[in-house]
Amino acid sequence: MTTSEFIKNLFLHPARTVDVLKEKSRLLLIVLLVINAPVFGILYFSTHFIANLAVPIFWIFGSLIGVVLFFAVGSYLCNYYLITKLLKEKEIGSSVKVMGYYYILTYSLYHLIMIPIFVALLISFDYYLVVIIYNISHLILLLWIIALSTQAVYYLQKDSELRSALKVFTAFFISYILISIVVLIEAADLISRIIR
């Protein structure tokens, strides 16, 4: 399967991509995560704060924010793993790997599509539209990740659709809550330092 066929199937026939991703090396997953983390951070920073991106400190700070993506993916996969362990399921490793691939591949495609749009909007100083588009497109991205993960679990674990969806949704929302708590604690700490 060529790359273009794979991307087409990712949108139209996700079940056809499951076996392909199951055979891929975990190293590629880590490489994609390392590439996407700073992009995620810089994109988040530039779409939520009015900052001069020509100043190098903002790129450094944006890249540091990107570490959140590592925690998000890791937390999501760990939660799913723990849920399946509690349910005493077999062959969990392949579904965890495929879910990780879906998470990071969708982010890769999202960045390829959205970065030129955000750059054009930031150059035109249309900051309100940037924030609105970022938040709506990011919500769609997360729903797509959940849908692809559910498809993978359903295909690999031979579960019912409802059981697959429940496991994925539970793992995702526990992860989302944990990341939100960490971010809020860090934000509160940063604000208290600035106020002092």
pLDDT tens by residue, 93-106: 889 999 999 999 99
Q: What was the pLDDT predicted at 184?
A: 83
Q: 192 φ, ψ to 5°? A: -65, -35
- Please state, in angstroms and rounded to a whole number, the distance separating the CA atoms of residues 171 and 166: 8
Q: How many domains does the chain have?
A: 1
For residue 95, what are its two tokens?
């579904």
Band (pLDDT 50/70/90 cuts) for residue 1 is low
pLDDT tens by residue, 121-133: 878 877 888 888 9
The answer to whether the beta carbons of residues 32 and 113 sit under 8 Å apart is: no
Could you tell me the residue range of the domain that residue 96 belongs to? 3-195
Residue 88's SS3 state is: coil
Global pTM reads 0.88
DSSP label at 66?
Answer: T
- Please state, in angstroms and rounded to a whole number, the distance separating the CA atoms of residues 39 and 59: 10
Q: What was the pLDDT predicted at 49?
A: 77
Percent of the chain with pLDDT over 90: 40
Q: What was the pLDDT predicted at 89?
A: 82
Between the CA atoms of 67, 73, 74 and 76, what dihedral angle is there, to the nearest 10 degrees?
140
Q: Residue 196 above 70 pLDDT?
A: no
What average pLDDT does range 52-72 have in this prediction? Answer: 81
Query: Is pLDDT larger for residue 58 or for residue 80?
Result: 80
pLDDT tens by residue, 134-178: 989 999 999 999 999 999 999 888 888 889 999 999 999 999 999
Q: What was the pLDDT predicted at 166?
A: 93
pLDDT tens by residue, 23-41: 888 899 999 999 999 999 8
For residue 106, what are its two tokens?
């969708």
